A and B are shown apart, each in its own frame.
Chain A
């Protein structure tokens, strides 16, 4: 069994190396070592499943081995930047001050078509609008347009905006989310009062009730009726 474990370590390291050598285009949204993990776990779980002559431990021990390796990789990545760079690589600037870095793209085997595709996916039709584009370690492209091309923000217009946090879902599919209710500092009685105010006797009739940080309570009944209530003063919001 220890042999299986050692073999798992070797195969894991070889697979990570292979994926790293294959470059960022192959990785997608995962880090290289996470990608390898996903591939290997799927295979390992499938093998003992389809062959009942193989002991289950032959699937479980390697998966445990991968878990250990992943845990160690993650811990070392957090603690040591050098290790992280070896394991995941570093981000690469593809467009710098509007200029496409051809040498860098060639090094990464990243084609112009790939670049244009990614830019379009992010809503940029014209590459000339982009000031900086960075190919992240997970294979995703982060594109930043020139300041004069980006959408107008409230700050640009000098408009003061209030805090906008996460809306709390208080009822989902007829079930009261007690944890969220507790986080808002409100009681179940308060929620019942709000529901009664719209003529609803039971939370089970509610599809979704969500309270935003402006104090507005959105209630959607299962029947389809929707209500928007000013349930709280903005100052009373404390999450």
Chain B
């Protein structure tokens, strides 16, 4: 009886800890990259292509570093979508294609918000 109670309590704590950690981590990463996308978007609007490219490449590198950990609790498909979007963004900035670059930024921002929203603790997701 006692061992059963201990097992239940430990498992419950573990599930809550995993849930809270994953939720906070997803939200933090998602928000961080969304802010960076906004910065890149502003640079593109000002036609500061070199700076925008530097930011985009740095964001891509950071994403590649973060994605293995994120893939532990986020669907791999969603993680890959952001990665692909970032490499498309770098190329369009290199080609100085404003329209495409802004389109990719919008797509990346959407994918980033989905990473958190898909796993968010909300009624919509529960039902």
Please give the residue numbers on chain A whose beta carbons come within 8 Å of chain B beta carbons, in ascending order: 1-3, 5-7, 10, 52-58, 61, 64-65, 67-68, 71-72, 74-75, 78
Please give the residue numbers on chain B whose beta carbons come within 8 Å of chain A beta carbons, in ascending order: 1, 4-5, 7-8, 11-12, 14-16, 18-20, 22-23, 71-77, 119-122, 125-126
- The answer to whether B126 touches A7, judged by C-beta atoms less than 8 angstroms apart, is yes
- The answer to whether B72 touches A56, judged by C-beta atoms less than 8 angstroms apart, is yes
Tell me, in angstroms, the Cα distance from A56 to B75 when the chains sit together.
10
Which applies to chain A's interface (DSSP): helix, strand, loop or mixed? Answer: helix
- The answer to whether A61 touches B4, judged by C-beta atoms less than 8 angstroms apart, is no
Indicate which residue in B14, B120, B121, B125 contacts A64 across the interface (CB closer than 8 Å).
Answer: B14
Chain A minimum-CB-distance residue to B26: A1
- The answer to whether B126 touches A54, judged by C-beta atoms less than 8 angstroms apart, is no
- The answer to whether A5 touches B19, judged by C-beta atoms less than 8 angstroms apart, is yes
- Expressed in whole angstroms, the minimum distance between the Cβ of B127 and any Cβ of chain A is 8
List, in ascending order, chain B residues with CB within 8 A of A71's CB.
4-5, 7-8, 11
Tell me, in angstroms, the Cα distance from A125 to B87 when the chains sit together.
76
List, in ascending order, chain B residues with CB within 8 A of A67's CB.
7-8, 11
Chain A minimum-CB-distance residue to B4: A71
- The answer to whether B1 touches A68, judged by C-beta atoms less than 8 angstroms apart, is no
List, in ascending order, chain A residues with CB within 8 A of B8's CB.
67-68, 71-72, 75
Can you give 23 A-B contacts (C-beta < 8 A)? A1-B18, A1-B23, A2-B15, A2-B19, A2-B20, A2-B23, A3-B120, A3-B126, A55-B72, A55-B73, A55-B74, A55-B75, A57-B22, A57-B72, A57-B73, A64-B15, A68-B11, A71-B4, A71-B7, A71-B8, A74-B4, A75-B4, A75-B8
List, in ascending order, chain B residues with CB within 8 A of A7's CB.
126
Tell me, in angstroms, the Cα distance from A78 to B5 when the chains sit together.
12
- Expressed in whole angstroms, the minimum distance between the Cβ of A153 and any Cβ of chain B is 36
List, in ascending order, chain B residues with CB within 8 A of A72's CB.
8
- Expressed in whole angstroms, the minimum distance between the Cβ of B43 and any Cβ of chain A is 34
- Expressed in whole angstroms, the minimum distance between the Cβ of A114 and any Cβ of chain B is 34
- The answer to whether A6 touches B71, judged by C-beta atoms less than 8 angstroms apart, is no
Tell me, in angstroms, the Cα distance from A68 to B125 when the chains sit together.
21
Tell me, in angstroms, the Cα distance from A6 to B16 when the chains sit together.
11
- The answer to whether B76 touches A10, judged by C-beta atoms less than 8 angstroms apart, is no
Known A2-B23, A65-B15; contact A53-B77, beta-carbon cutoff 8 A: yes
Indicate which residue in B5, B23, B75, B121 contacts A54 across the interface (CB closer than 8 Å).
Answer: B75
Tell me, in angstroms, the Cα distance from A52 to B79 when the chains sit together.
13
Known A1-B22, A68-B12; contact A75-B76, beta-carbon cutoff 8 A: no
List, in ascending order, chain A residues with CB within 8 A of B119's CB.
1, 3
- The answer to whether B75 touches A1, judged by C-beta atoms less than 8 angstroms apart, is no
- Expressed in whole angstroms, the minimum distance between the Cβ of A76 and any Cβ of chain B is 11
List, in ascending order, chain B residues with CB within 8 A of A78's CB.
1
Known A1-B22, A3-B119; contact A53-B76, beta-carbon cutoff 8 A: yes
Contacts A1-B18, A3-B126 aside, 11 further interface pairs with beta carbons under 8 A come to A1-B73, A2-B15, A2-B20, A2-B121, A55-B72, A56-B72, A58-B73, A61-B19, A64-B11, A65-B15, A71-B11
